[in-house]
Structure 1
Amino acid sequence: MSKPLQGKIAVVTGATRGAGRGIACMLGEAGATVYCTGRSVRGRIATAGRSETIEETAEMVTAHGGEGIAVKVDHTVESEVVALFERIAEERPHLDILVNDVWGGDALTEWSKMFWELDIEKGMTMFHRAVHGHILTSRHAFPLLAKADHGLIVEVTDGDHMGYRLNLYYDLVKTAVIRLAFGMSRELAKYPITALAVTPGFLRSEAMLDHFGVTEENWRDGVAKDPHFIASETPFYVGRAIAALAADPNVAAKAGRVFSSWDLALEYDFVDVDGRQPIWSRHLLETTGQNFVACDEAFYDKYCSDGPLETLFSDWPPGPESSGDRK
């Protein structure tokens, strides 16, 4: 099998389970060395009710053909983030890929409540983990990414649209990381680093399988509980999407935008590990009759072109020479 990411070094945060685990494994499948970070390790589980660990993920990365390295990191603690990249700097010449997938908000999301009823502390904790943690990580990864021939930062979100996500804090967090990718891409314009966002569809994660009372072997039985489950995807699908982006020599053309696993599957011609190619947007159109508008190229051309400040300050952003950054 082709190994287009052979020799590439990646960090996948939030790699304990779900999309993070799938992404780490598929980067490994493509030949990458993957530092798998998270808070749950053998003998010390950080998330109640879950048994997955980063050691398991690292072993799966290696089994898929890459090199998996487990590192316990709480990405809301700056000293731990700094220590992670200091270790990588000692062991590797640079960093090629950073995937920000820290979430930790499932237990914090109060789906049945309106904004005036929400627990403020839970909402701010969600922000601290899933937005501030991403910013901290990207900040300290930057020097190593700048040493690569071309670095890639991927923000993992939920949804490639601007429709409401039915909970104020959840919606703000998931749209914030899309905007993070956009903002970072603007500030990285003169550096060999591309920032973008990626969303899975209906994710058949470990927790979702448990919720439906099924396993990966009999997952279709979950359709009786929710017909939309038929269009679900494994966490490896979005993993293959990100691996395809990382292997694309022209990925810089996608800077600042948000992409879906299913659109990338069509573009790069890959399938899920079960041989299927679920297209979530097509399923929604067929079942609801609505064509939900994605943040596609036309959207970004219309709403995310140069703003007045970018136009007024035409010498912005500074490049490596003026800001003091060197390879």
Structure 2
Amino acid sequence: MLAYNKTDVHPSTFILIGIPGLEAAHIWISIPFFMAYVLALLGNFSLLFIIKTDSSLHEPMYLFLCMVAVADLILCTTVVPKLLSLFWFQDGKILIEACLTQVFLIHSCSTMESGFFMAMAFDRYVAICKPLRHSAILTNSVIMTMGLAIVIRGSVLLMPHPFVLRWLPYCKTNIISHTYCEFMALIKIACAETRILRAYSLIVAFLTGAVDFILIICSYVLILHTVFQMPSKDARLKTLGTCGSHVCVILVSYTAAFFSFLTHRFGHHVAPHLHIFVANIYILVPPLVNPIIYGVKTKKIRERFLKFFSFSKTLN
């Protein structure tokens, strides 16, 4: 493994080493990663196709779900092809431009996805707590405005990251102990004072993921308050059932995201291979399971998928 000369403080390339301590197992680890990636592509493209072609699914929840699917596709495609190249061909070299593009897309898409989850929680709140005003409040123009605002927020707040990282001096090494380029992974090998950059990263994380998560919790507190005031047990269960898929997706996404975020910044005693493995799970698992969760737990999508699958079999 080569490192550049220590006088070269602005390298043109970095070297990704994968999962430290598990280099010998990279080829075996790549198999479930590759399968998960293929299934994630199939699942999310199928979800987008089903929602686009079925006018009955052109509702706020499903439109926000499309936005999540697009963010998931960009997120995993930003990481997995290079990861597989590293695992299969020991090709760890990555140009700084590609590395910084990874940094921006990974963090901005994660931020956007968090915003879309918050928007979906707001949709569930309006649908359950203010059902008569749902269509008046969440019009198509409002949905598009919310989606655009979330995209702009994720882009603007994360835009400084690649520019700042581009001009940091890296006089320690150009070797990144990770499977992909990540903000904190690059900060750790810089030889400049980075406290302000770390503070900015924490502030952005709080203004996006943490605030979104707090708003999601508030939405569900209000939803539960409304649900438990319903006189019928069947009505309560049916209403809660409409939130089940959303809650499952949030738990899957936020659990891995919080673990990865906290261990990168504060978990100095967490084994590097464990942290990096979880960081990859955070990239791969949500795009894989989100379509499955919504396909299994959402009746309209499940029926449409089965209908499409049956039609394909008939043609064959």
- TM-score, length basis structure 2: 0.27
Asked which structure has the greater CA Rg, the reply is 2
Identify the structure with bigger relative contact order (alpha carbons < 8 Å, sequence gap 6+). Answer: 2
Q: Specify which structure has the higher proportion of strand.
A: 1
